[in-house]
Amino acid sequence: MPVRIGTRGSRLARAQAERVAALLREQGSDSEIVTITTKGDTVDGVPLHEIGGQGVFVRALDDAILDGTIDAAVHSMKDIPAKRPAGLCTCAILKRDSPADFLVHSLPLDAIRVIGTTSTRRKAQLLRNMEGVSVKQLRGNVDTRLRKLAEGQYDAIVLAEAGLQRMELSVPGTRLSPLTFVPSPNQGTIAVVCRDDPSIRTMFAPLDHKQTRFDVEIERTVMEEVGGGCFTPQGIYSNQGHVVAEILSLDGTRQVWTEEELCSIEDARAFGRNLRRAGEELIREAYERLGICDEG
């Protein structure tokens, strides 16, 4: 009986699920892809923090695993919340693709005035690094965002470079260095979540990439210690344990930036606590302005 792999219905989400299915075939395992609709797919035009943050893309798939509709689900790792329901496990983390953001545009850089993104991090980094631009809210899947750009609603939009590569899309624009535009924790990484069942875990185990898992766990540990979630403009990126991280004000005018070589989860916890202390005022200010209760 084929393993049932759940995914969101967007072209990018399906491309990610199909990659996992192809890797399973190489291991001699059959699979079936099942599309699950999430609240994040049906509610458009409002900031993510108003409908529950990145976790809205994961919750419906978690529920489908737990109720037996599917056996596993494929996610962009950065969408998976820190707190997870009992009975689930992240059974595989694929080798990381590009962690970088990509600015899609056909105008010269100095002619860009209006940029679309839904991310507070991307907005703050753009305002800091690109003089004279304004940043407007942009929701929707990759195809929807590209369509809105083509219609002239924006001069440029920001997408994850990894998503463009997975969809085999070639678009004009500029790659944004992850050392300047520090990405979200786990950006560029595909994860498989499954029911905590030994037979299912064993099936997906060969897909797990140890170095990527180490970097992902370092980033998530720092993120959990910082406590800002997807609402605070923050970037955390680990490349073989070399970590760069920053917390910004919502308008990009102030930031705390740091880097360090980390060898263990204990190192990451200490690094995250130090970053939290240094950026505490920026985190509190972001939560107050967004009208969110800071529980961290």
Contact 76, 8 (CB under 8 A): no
Which residue carries 């990659």 as its tokens?
19
Radius of gyration for the alpha carbons in the chain, expressed in angstroms and rounded: 19
Q: Based on the residue annotation, tell me whether 97 is a catalytic residue of this protein.
A: no
Amino acid at 93: I
Rounded to whole angstroms, the Cα distance separating 1 from 10 reads: 26
The dihedral over CA atoms of 11, 147, 77, 233, expressed in degrees to the nearest 10, equals -170
Rounded to whole angstroms, the Cα distance separating 197 from 175 reads: 40
Pick from 182, 183, 204: nearest CA to 193: 204
What value, to the nearest 5°, has the Cα angle with vertex 103 and ends 37 and 234? 70
Return phi, psi of residue 155, to 5°. -85, -25
Please give, one letter per residue, the 3-state secondary structure of 5-48.
EEECCCHHHHHHHHHHHHHHHHCCCCEEEEECCCHHHHCCCCCH
Indicate if the alpha-carbon torsion angle 37, 38, 43, 45 is positive or negative: negative
Residues in contact with 234: Cβ distance below 8 Å, sequence separation at least 6, in sequence order: 121, 184, 223, 226, 228, 245, 246, 247, 248, 279
List beta partners, residue 34. Answer: 6
From the candidates 62, 71, 79, 101, give the one annotated as an active-site residue.
79
The catalytic residue positions are: 79
